[in-house]
A and B are shown apart, each in its own frame.
Chain A
Amino acid sequence: MSQQAAFDPKTATPFLTSRGHPGWLGMRYSDHGDDWVELELPWREDLLGEEGQHVLASGPILSLMDMASGLAIWKAMDRFEAIATLDLRVDYVRPARDGAAVFGRSQCYRITRSAAFVRGLAHDGDADDPVAHIQAVFMKIGGDPKRELPGG
């Protein structure tokens, strides 16, 4: 029996990124699959990592990947559930190009009763030439299942 998808990253993203930290960064929906989500972080002059150098700071990539990972987990679970980042590793393999938007794609490859495991990459247009790789573990924090979406 087919069931309608309960969590749609495309419709959830504008809601989740309308305010708070994701809203401040201006993240947008880009693409998704069954267990992965890609978000876009548009280029912004005030997110530079070093004065005089047109290179995006690493902090926003961390935020982008954290957010894309959360969405990938909800997509893989096909529902919204409160989760918290436990551990997040980012390897910055090269600087993002000057003026380029950065895309963060994260895949949830395993969900257990209490944890969700993700891996992903950030790229600036070509996913075959990433700017960063990530790996993270999130914990389900349970609590009130009726709790509203963050940013709600």
Chain B
Amino acid sequence: MADNPDIEALTPYARSLGIKLADWEDGVPVLCVEFVEAVEGRPEHFHGGATGGLLETAGYAALRAELARIEREAVLKPINITVQYLAAGKSQTSFAKGRITKLGRRSANLTVEAWQEDRSRPIATAVMNVLMAKTEG
């Protein structure tokens, strides 16, 4: 198996929210966030915004990992994201992993899944498009 790329998977926002790198699976980062007050919405449940932030961060992390693997430099800019909330996020650790559906020249399409204790029952999924702008200079 290839070495996991040395990427900055977490943005300042993601670190501030408490998102961590949990694991690597076949070169793809799996992120997690523990249930702390910063992610709480209604009592004892994840806030939809926090779950969305985790999904989005996992999507970017998957894309950064792939770009690092193929030694391609790009500045990532969000185009859009659609989040589907499938089940309430309970007061336990949430995980998320992204998958690149299409890596184009200018944009990438990703699907991301978030789950808690039972990976076969995701709590939320997302589809996102990311613009890959050329790096300056």
Binary CB contact string for chain B from 86 to 115 against chain A (1 if under 8 A, 0 otherwise): 001000000000000000000000000000
Find out whether the CB atom of A21 lies under 8 angstroms from the CB atom of B85.
no
Distance of A104 from chain B, by nearest CB (Å): 10
Find out whether the CB atom of A88 lies under 8 angstroms from the CB atom of B48.
yes
Find out whether the CB atom of A48 lies under 8 angstroms from the CB atom of B11.
yes
Instruction: Please provide the chain B residues from 42 to 85 with a CB less than 8 Å away from any CB of chain A in the complex.
Output: 42-43, 47-50, 52-53, 56-57, 75-85
CB < 8 Å A-B pair total: 122
With both beta carbons as reference points, the residue of chain B lying nearest to A60 in the complex is identified as: B13
Q: Which residues of B contact A82 (CB under 8 A)?
A: 42
Residues of A within 8 A of B (CB): 19-25, 45-51, 53, 57-60, 62-64, 66-67, 82, 84-92, 95, 148, 150-152
Residues of B within 8 A of A (CB): 8, 11-17, 37-43, 47-50, 52-53, 56-57, 75-85, 88
Smallest CB-CB A-B distances: 4 pairs: A63-B49, A59-B53, A150-B42, A21-B47
Q: A51-B8, A92-B80 are in contact. List 15 more A-B contacts (CB 8 A).
A: A20-B41, A21-B50, A23-B37, A48-B11, A50-B75, A53-B75, A57-B13, A57-B53, A62-B81, A66-B52, A82-B42, A84-B48, A89-B80, A90-B82, A150-B42
